[in-house]
């Protein structure tokens, strides 16, 4: 009989990524349903007493490997360390963030631990004592439920910004176990990191996104969307057509070959709604589409649709938002 639900938290640049708290919260709910303990695993550099932050979301014991060698995610060093600590948790279920690094880590970890992995899940449930996880399939065209055989370790990576965070409880304390893991010589190393210093809100963390497509007609017109976004406290995204045209950097691309985003509000401007774009934003809570073509496929996914020339609508809309803000 396994002992725990184990979460693997993502620690980067001196702090936990928010998705780690979402995963911890989901872990707490699951541990309560299954009658198991909730343990956490953290690999990073400078974790120190920050490990206690996981306790606020219900983690009872945290296994920490704190070493400068873990400053950057390198699969060769991270995977053996995480695997060793996860084994110490004796888990029935392992939850990880489905972030860029988390997806890479979970696939490798599942192979190493011979666990069954469901990637990028949007819901986890326990029905009649049986664990199930739901994930989008075929670029978001349908949803599939996954189940595990009895005794099989279930590994689930959770899509960021989908699972809700518990209210943090500052009075909670976790037992912290510092683990001295063996760090293998890595054949790869991080030579340099180019950080985006523009102060832009990261798309995958944004609560509101204003995205532009080919309908924007040119890079200069994105200034309109930047203005609206700054009033809304939003990030600016783009379709692949806008990125391929060189109007926006690839880091702004939303979709199957771009970023998967789950904001509360996604405003698609001059975007037709191709399946590959929907794959990246279809799980947004509310979708607003602005398109002059009433038959554009984006309207089948949108909660609110504006059939209008975007060059007429966006300036008027921006002015209304400005009035509401002042």
Q: Of 151 and 218, which has the nearer Cβ to ligand FAD?
A: 218
How many whole angstroms separate alpha carbon 124 and alpha carbon 241?
Answer: 34
Q: Which tokens in the block code for residue 162?
A: 């989908």
Q: Of 66 and 252, which has the nearer Cβ to ligand FAD?
A: 252
Closest CA to 256 of 281, 228, 285: 281
Write down the residue that tokens 């972030």 correspond to. Answer: 99
Report helix, strand or coil for 26: helix
Q: Which segment (1-9, 18-26, 38-46, 309-317) binds ligand FAD by CB under 6 A?
A: 309-317
Q: Which of residues 119-148 bind ligand FAD (CB under 6 A)?
A: none
| Per-position x/- string for 199-218, each x denoting binding to ligand FAD as judged by CB under 6 A, each - no binding | --------------xxx---
Beta carbons within 8 Å of 141's beta carbon, 6+ residues apart:
275
Instruction: Tell me if 54 contacts ligand FAD by CB under 6 A.
Output: no
Instruction: Tell me if 87 contacts ligand FAD by CB under 6 A.
Output: no
Is 275 annotated among the ligand-binding residues?
A: yes
The beta strand positions in 17-77, using DSSP E, are 37-44, 61-66
Under 8 Å between Cβ of 106 and 117 = yes
| Per-position x/- string for 223-262, each x denoting binding to ligand FAD as judged by CB under 6 A, each - no binding | ----------------xxxx----------xxxxxx----
Q: How far is the CB of 219 from ligand FAD (least distance, A)?
A: 13
Candidate list 8, 291, 299, 305; residue touching ligand FAD; CB under 6 A:
291
Is 111 annotated among the ligand-binding residues?
A: no
How many whole angstroms separate alpha carbon 241 and alpha carbon 247?
Answer: 9
Pairing state between β 304-307 and 61-66: unpaired
Annotated binding site for FAD: 214, 239-240, 253-257, 270-277, 291
Annotated binding site: 214, 239-240, 253-257, 270-277, 291
């Amino acid at each position: 009989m396994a002992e725990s639900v184990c979460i693997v938290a993502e620690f980067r640049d001196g702090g936990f990524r928010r998705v780690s708290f979402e995963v911890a919260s989901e872990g707490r709910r699951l541990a309560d349903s299954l009658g198991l303990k909730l343990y956490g695993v953290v690999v990073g550099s400078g974790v120190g007493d920050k490990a206690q932050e996981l306790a606020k979301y219900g983690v009872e014991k945290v296994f920490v490997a704190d070493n400068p060698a873990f400053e950057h995610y390198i699969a060769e060093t991270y995977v053996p360390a995480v695997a060793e600590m996860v084994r110490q948790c004796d888990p029935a279920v392992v939850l990880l963030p489905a972030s860029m690094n988390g997806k890479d880590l979970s696939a490798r970890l599942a192979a190493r631990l011979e666990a069954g992995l469901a990637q990028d899940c949007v819901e986890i449930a326990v029905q009649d004592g049986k664990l199930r996880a739901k994930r989008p399939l075929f670029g978001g065209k349908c949803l599939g439920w996954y189940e595990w055989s009895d005794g099989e370790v279930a590994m689930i990576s959770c899509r960021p910004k989908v699972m809700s965070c518990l209210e943090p409880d500052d009075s909670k304390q976790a037992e912290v176990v510092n683990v001295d893991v063996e760090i293998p010589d890595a054949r790869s190393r991080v030579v340099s990191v180019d950080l985006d210093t523009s102060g832009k809100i990261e798309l995958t963390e944004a609560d509101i996104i204003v995205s532009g497509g080919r309908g924007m007609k040119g890079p200069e017109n994105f200034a309109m969307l930047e203005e609206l976004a700054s009033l809304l406290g939003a990030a600016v995204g783009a379709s692949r057509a806008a990125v391929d045209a060189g109007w926006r950097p690839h880091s702004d691309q939303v979709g199957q070959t771009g970023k998967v985003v789950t904001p509360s509000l996604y405003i698609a401007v001059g975007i037709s709604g191709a399946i590959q774009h929907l794959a990246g934003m279809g799980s947004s809570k509310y979708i607003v589409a602005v398109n002059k073509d009433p038959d554009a496929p984006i309207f089948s996914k949108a909660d609110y649709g504006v059939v209008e020339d975007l060059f007429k609508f966006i300036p008027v809309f921006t002015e209304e938002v400005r009035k509401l803000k002042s």
